[in-house]
């Protein structure tokens, strides 16, 4: 009998410890967590700014335990601004504290089930409604997390600005939304824009979007540098070569007319010549940018026939 009771207690302890470990690994917005998001403009150059969020500490306002979320909007011409938001985490139910109304407003519920309707409130726009259409388990840097796929819900409110469909239709535990930190694009050029470049914290480590080469860089507001590399042929059927002016370890990123970042895999033909293949992409105009040590160094317009 004692052995049976001991086995029950041991099993209960293991279950409790496993639950606590998952809760810790799935915690949203731990101190030190940092997000990097694009700022996509309507017209070229598409990516002239950077949105950076960082959880910098805890505070108490009106008796509420809150995390301080520092937001930096950075343009490469030296302008921008910084502001703080405040996050409340009630066992996975995330809210944003509104100072003006002295109230918590819903952000996301990581305890939601399939079919639940959720409200996401944005500090600078009207709320959006969404429905959880599926929940899957994903492994991110060796840690098991839940991912909630969402679709817009019309309900009684017509101003629903959740984008519909890939690649910005899910929330992942610990990381959040994969397109906007506040996923309500109230305009074509919303602050803070999207999509997610990278996320990092001291447990999960660095998580990079597959379509992004670097986390923190800025593209120019005015003219691009032209002497860093050359494209040939241009226009191209999708197979082209890049010749760089020196033996540098550049990374290249392609941007389509919608501001979407597309990964480029290079085949080295020599120390300063690289070949790329984008034959699977639609015909049109693309911008290819060169990055060195997280800094923009040059850009060219590429026409794919």
Cα dihedral 25, 29, 33, 39 in deg (nearest 10): 130
- In tens digits, what is the pLDDT along the chain, a chain of 305 residues? 555 454 444 454 444 444 444 555 689 999 999 998 876 554 454 445 678 899 999 999 999 999 999 998 877 666 778 989 999 999 999 999 988 889 999 999 999 999 999 888 777 666 777 889 899 999 999 999 999 988 776 544 433 344 443 334 789 999 998 777 876 444 333 444 567 788 999 999 988 755 445 677 665 443 444 567 888 888 889 999 988 876 677 778 787 766 666 777 888 888 788 899 998 888 888 888 777 665 567 778 888 88
* pLDDT for res 267: 86
Cα distance between residue 303 and residue 123, in whole Å: 40
Using the CB atoms, write b or e for 106-121: b if 16+ within 10 Å. Answer: ebbbbebeeeeebbbb
- 93 neighbors 110 (Cβ within 8 angstroms): yes
Reference 266, options 253, 284, 279; nearest CA is 253
This model's pTM is above 0.75 = no
- Architecture of the 229-304 domain: Sandwich (2.60)
* pLDDT for res 218: 61
* pLDDT for res 305: 84
Reference 56, options 76, 94, 30, 74; nearest CA is 30
* pLDDT for res 296: 64
- 169 neighbors 183 (Cβ within 8 angstroms): no
- 248 neighbors 264 (Cβ within 8 angstroms): no
Whether the CA torsion 220, 226, 232, 237 is positive or negative: it is positive
Please tell me what DSSP assigns to residue 225.
P
- 197 neighbors 38 (Cβ within 8 angstroms): yes
Indicate the domain borders of the chain.
Answer: 23-208, 229-304
- 87 neighbors 67 (Cβ within 8 angstroms): yes
Q: Judge residue 268's burial from the number of C-beta atoms within 10 Å of its C-beta, 0-12 exposed, 13-18 middle, 19 or more buried.
A: exposed
- 152 neighbors 130 (Cβ within 8 angstroms): yes
- 84 neighbors 70 (Cβ within 8 angstroms): yes
């Amino acid at each position: 009998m004692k052995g049976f009771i001991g086995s029950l207690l041991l099993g209960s302890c293991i279950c409790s410890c496993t639950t606590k470990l998952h809760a810790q690994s799935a915690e949203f917005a731990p101190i030190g967590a940092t997000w990097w998001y694009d700022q996509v403009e309507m017209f070229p150059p598409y990516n002239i700014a950077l949105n950076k969020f960082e959880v910098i500490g805890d505070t108490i306002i009106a008796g509420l335990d809150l995390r301080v979320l520092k937001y930096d909007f950075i343009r490469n011409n030296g302008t921008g601004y910084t502001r703080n938001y405040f996050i409340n985490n009630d066992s996975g139910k995330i809210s944003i504290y509104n100072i003006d109304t002295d109230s918590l407003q819903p952000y996301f519920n990581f305890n939601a089930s399939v079919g639940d309707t959720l409200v996401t409130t944005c500090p600078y726009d009207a709320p959006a409604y969404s429905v959880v259409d599926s929940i899957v388990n994903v492994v991110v840097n060796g840690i098991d997390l839940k991912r909630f796929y969402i679709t817009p819900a019309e309900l009684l409110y017509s101003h629903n600005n959740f984008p519909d469909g890939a690649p910005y239709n899910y929330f992942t535990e610990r990381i959040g939304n994969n397109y906007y930190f506040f996923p309500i694009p109230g305009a074509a050029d919303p602050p803070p824009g999207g999509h997610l470049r990278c996320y990092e914290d001291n447990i999960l480590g660095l998580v990079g979007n597959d379509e992004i080469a670097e986390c923190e860089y800025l593209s120019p507001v005015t003219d691009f540098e032209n002497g860093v590399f050359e494209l040939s042929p241009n226009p191209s059927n999708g197979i082209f070569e890049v010749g760089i002016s020196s033996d540098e370890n550049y990374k290249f990123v392609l941007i389509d007319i919608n501001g979407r970042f597309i990964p480029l895999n290079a085949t080295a033909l020599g120390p300063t010549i690289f070949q790329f293949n984008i034959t699977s992409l639609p015909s049109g105009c693309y911008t290819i940018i060169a990055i060195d040590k997280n800094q923009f160094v040059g850009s060219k317009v590429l026409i794919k026939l």
